[in-house]
């Protein structure tokens, strides 16, 4: 066989394979209100490209009517599946029924809806309580039997991540009487308030000498608090252990500098598990469970934070 024919056959086989597999998936994204969501969009597009899926992307700019219009367009185009990150929980019944009648499976990403579970194939998301629990268990292991006074930076008062991540952390440290949450205040998920609240914690706890660890409901608050700790003349990561949730690039930078200890990932890769479930469904009709929980992976200083930072900083966080 000459080189030319070999190349031709390869190309032909690849072309055939692609033709047999090329699926079209419509993705209705909420918008781009946070860095995390921007990263989710980037990763969904990446995952689709890797699997040779033709992704039709629609940005709803925080409006449900835009999402419903996008879904209707997807149904009219006869896509093979629909991914949607629903902006609100209610009002999806009729459009989901339309999709079901057209035999198009719908997968929910990172948020849930209040509709009948029969109307969608599955939902991919993270368990917020579990995230807090992973953080709590890490701290319990890190301090061992030493007595540890923890300060907590909560998310926005009353928001579900703030409530669930608090509950989860308390679950994680349950049974360790040596660990005690001594101060807990909201810092609204932001860097500047995180810094301000941490400053007052340091004042209130003997200049920080009485604080053994900081638990922040998201990384941004932790990044702000780390600066406050440094300005108080203490070493974050050593004098005060720092554990937070989300795994955004800037916390890996802090970890690489030895200023943060651990973070729990809220993965923006919701599309990966969704595409896996869809592939199985298309292949032989395997129906996935109604909720696919993503990994809440724990990253510590020993997980190459510098490398993680490089890998993540381009994702649009």
Partner 1 sequence: MKRALRRVAPQLMTLIVLAALVSWFFPSFLQIDLSDGRLVGPVIDIVKRGAPVAILAVGMTLVVATGGIDLSVGTVMAITGAVAASALVSGWGVPVALLLACGAGLTAGVWNGALVAVLGIQPIVATLILMTAGRGIAQLITEGRILTFSDTGFAFLGSGSLMGIPVPALLWVLTGVLVALLMRRTALGLLVESVGINQRASALAGVNARGLIIVVYMASGLCAALAGIIATADIRGADANNAGLWLELDAILAVVIGGNSLLGGRFSIAASVLGAMIIQTIDTGILLAGFPSEYNLVIKAVLVLAILMIQSPHLASEWALIRMQIARRRAARGQEG
Q: Which positions touch partner 1 (CB under 8 A)? A: 32-35, 38, 154, 157-158, 183-186, 188, 190-193, 195-197, 199-201, 203-204, 207, 220, 223-224, 227, 231-233, 250, 253, 316-317
Contacts with 140 (C-beta within 8 Å, 6 or more apart), sequence order = 172, 173, 176, 179
CB of 264 to partner 1, least distance (A): 19
- Return the axis-axis angle of helices 93-101 and 64-77, rounded to nearest 10°: 10
Task: Report, in this order, helix, strand and coil percent for the chain, each rounded to 5.
Answer: 50, 20, 30
Cβ-based nearer residue to partner 1, 80 or 110: 110
What is the token pair recorded at 135? 């953080």
At its nearest, how many Å lie between partner 1 and the CB of residue 122? 29
In whole angstroms, what is the distance from residue 130 CA to residue 164 CA?
Answer: 8
The residue (of 130 and 312) whose beta carbon lies closer to partner 1 is 312
- Minimum Å gap between C-beta 262 and partner 1 is 20
Q: How far is the CB of 146 from partner 1 (least distance, A)?
A: 23
Name which of 24 and 185 has its Cβ closer to partner 1: 185
Decide whether 187 or 274 has the Cβ nearer to partner 1: 187
Q: Which is nearer to partner 1, 158 or 289 (CB)?
A: 158
- Nearest distance, CB of residue 187 and partner 1, angstroms: 9
Q: What does the alpha-carbon distance between residue 189 and residue 182 come to, in Å, rounded to a whole number?
A: 20
Residues 6+ apart with CB under 8 A from 267: 126, 247, 294, 295, 297
Which residue, 207 or 258, is less far from partner 1 as judged by CB? 207
Nearest alpha carbon to residue 195 among 219, 215, 222, 218: 222
Cβ atoms of residues 52 and 22 within 8 Å: yes
Cα angle value 264/45/95 (rounded, 5°) = 95
DSSP structural state of residue 285: -
**Smallest distance from partner 1 to CB 267, Å:** 18
User: Which residues, in sequence order, are bridge partners of residue 243?
Assistant: 215, 262
DSSP secondary structure letter of residue 10:
H
Nearer residue to partner 1 within complex by CB, 33 or 54: 33
Round to whole Å and give the CA distance between 45 and 271: 9
Residue with tokens 């368990």: 127
Q: How far apart are CA 108 and CA 37, in angstroms?
A: 14
In the complex, least distance from residue 240 CB atom to partner 1, rounded to whole angstroms: 16
Q: How far is the CB of 289 from partner 1 (least distance, A)?
A: 34
Residue 276 class from Cβ within 10 Å (0-12 exposed, 13-18 middle, 19+ buried)? middle
Kindly tell me which of 55 and 197 has the beta carbon lying closer to partner 1: 197
């Amino acid at each position: 066989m000459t080189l030319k024919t070999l190349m031709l056959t390869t190309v032909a086989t690849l072309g055939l394979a692609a033709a047999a597999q090329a699926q079209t998936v419509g993705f209705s994204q909420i918008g781009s209100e946070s860095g995390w969501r921007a990263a989710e969009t980037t990763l969904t597009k990446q995952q689709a490209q890797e699997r040779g899926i033709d992704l039709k992307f629609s940005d709803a700019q925080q409006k449900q009517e835009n999402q419903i219009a996008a879904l209707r367009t997807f149904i009219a185009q006869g896509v093979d599946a629909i991914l949607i990150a629903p902006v609100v929980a209610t009002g999806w019944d009729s459009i989901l029924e339309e999709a079901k009648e057209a035999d198009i499976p719908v997968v929910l990403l990172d948020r849930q809806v209040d509709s009948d579970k029969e109307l969608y194939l599955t939902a991919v998301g993270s368990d917020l309580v579990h995230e807090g629990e992973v953080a709590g268990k890490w701290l319990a292991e890190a301090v061992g039997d030493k007595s540890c006074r923890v300060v907590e930076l909560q998310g926005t008062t009353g928001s579900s991540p703030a409530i669930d991540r608090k509950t989860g952390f308390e679950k994680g440290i349950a049974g360790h009487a040596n660990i005690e949450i001594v101060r807990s205040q909201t810092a609204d998920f932001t860097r500047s308030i995180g810094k301000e609240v941490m400053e007052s914690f340091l004042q209130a706890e003997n200049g920080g000498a009485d604080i053994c660890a900081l638990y922040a409901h998201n990384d941004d608050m932790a990044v702000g608090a780390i600066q406050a700790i440094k300005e108080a003349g203490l070493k974050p990561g050593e004098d005060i252990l720092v554990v937070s949730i989300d795994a955004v690039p800037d916390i890996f930078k802090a970890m690489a500098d030895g200023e943060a200890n651990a973070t729990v990932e809220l993965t923006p890769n919701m599309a990966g598990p969704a595409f896996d479930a869809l592939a199985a469904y298309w292949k032989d009709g395997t129906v996935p469970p109604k909720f696919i929980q993503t990994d809440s992976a724990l990253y510590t200083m020993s997980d190459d934070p510098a490398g993680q930072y490089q890998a993540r900083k381009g994702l649009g966080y």
